[in-house]
Amino acid sequence: MAKLYIVPTPIGNLDDITLRAIAVLREADFILAEDTRTTSFLLRHLGIEKKLRSHHKFNEHATVQSVAETIAAGRCVALVSDAGTPGISDPGFLLVRTCIEQGIEVETLPGATAAIPALVQSGFPCDRFCFEGFLPQKKGRNKHLQALADEERTMIFYESPYRVVKCLEQLAELFGPERRVSVSRELTKKFEQTVRGTLAEVLDHFRAAEPKGEFVIVVAGRPKPGRRSECLEEADGPQENRKQ
């Protein structure tokens, strides 16, 4: 059936692929992959042989229309990124929008993504939250963070290991060193770890232990005026969870 399937893939632990994702990857006419080598590795692991086409941020503007035409002509296409859910800080949005505009059916499978386990693992309220993805690297970064200082919802940021300390420093400066934060690294992998505490405490932790791996930073929202924060208040310094 002519359709675009959005297929999440594991963010570390290969067992996190869903049965439905495997079925779609097996049935699709071809797979659009952010990096064909990364996806070939996953397909080999799953015992699937399938044609792959490149679909990444450097070619998506040029190829999106021809992909939509191919689906409209009756093909079933699956889109994957290197890890997690396509469209979430990864290519996907442009193709989904184009398909919807052209009346092509889109079906998004639920599955792996880094933001949601980091949010739930933080212990901060997750009834309402905002996903900020990657901050601008240079221009506009400070202004962007300033605009979030009064945000009352829990905030989720993706950050490279090279900028984790800088990001925590900026957050402490703009949100105050007492604001609570939860930093999760290497989710679903062998060295998964979550460090929770005030921005000042978690900053000290990562100044002493060089950040390595992939990171999600979850920041508590500003407490409502006159209300106590709903976030955990640990008494003595940062609290660390490591996989056993």
Strand partners of residue 80: 33
Helix axes 93-101, 60-72, angle to 10 degrees: 40
| Smallest distance from ligand SAM to CB 163, Å | 10
Give the residues lining the site for ligand SAM (CB under 6 A): 11-12, 81, 83-85, 88-90, 113-115, 158-160, 184-189, 214-216
Strand partners of residue 53: 32
| Smallest distance from ligand SAM to CB 191, Å | 10
Whole-number Å distance between alpha carbons of 28 and 18 = 15
| Smallest distance from ligand SAM to CB 58, Å | 14
Report the residue number, 190 or 227, with the smaller CB distance to ligand SAM.
190
| Smallest distance from ligand SAM to CB 35, Å | 11
Q: Which amino acid is at 96?
A: V
DSSP-H helix ranges across 102-198? 115-122, 141-146, 164-175
Report the residue number, 132 or 214, with the smaller CB distance to ligand SAM.
214
Residue with smallest beta-carbon separation from ligand SAM: 84
Report the residue number, 72 or 209, with the smaller CB distance to ligand SAM.
209
> Is residue 62 within 8 Å of residue 106, measured between CB atoms?
no
Taking alpha carbons only, the member of 112, 116, 163, 154 closest to residue 135 is 163
Report the residue number, 189 or 222, with the smaller CB distance to ligand SAM.
189
> Is residue 132 within 8 Å of residue 157, measured between CB atoms?
yes
Report the residue number, 142 or 188, with the smaller CB distance to ligand SAM.
188
Report the residue number, 177 or 213, with the smaller CB distance to ligand SAM.
213
Q: Which amino acid is at 179?
A: R
| Smallest distance from ligand SAM to CB 4, Å | 17
| Smallest distance from ligand SAM to CB 171, Å | 15
| Smallest distance from ligand SAM to CB 92, Å | 8
DSSP E strand boundaries for 44-192: 52-54, 76-80, 106-108, 129-134, 154-159, 180-185
> Is residue 195 within 8 Å of residue 182, measured between CB atoms?
yes
Coil, helix or strand at residue 8: coil
Report the residue number, 158 or 175, with the smaller CB distance to ligand SAM.
158
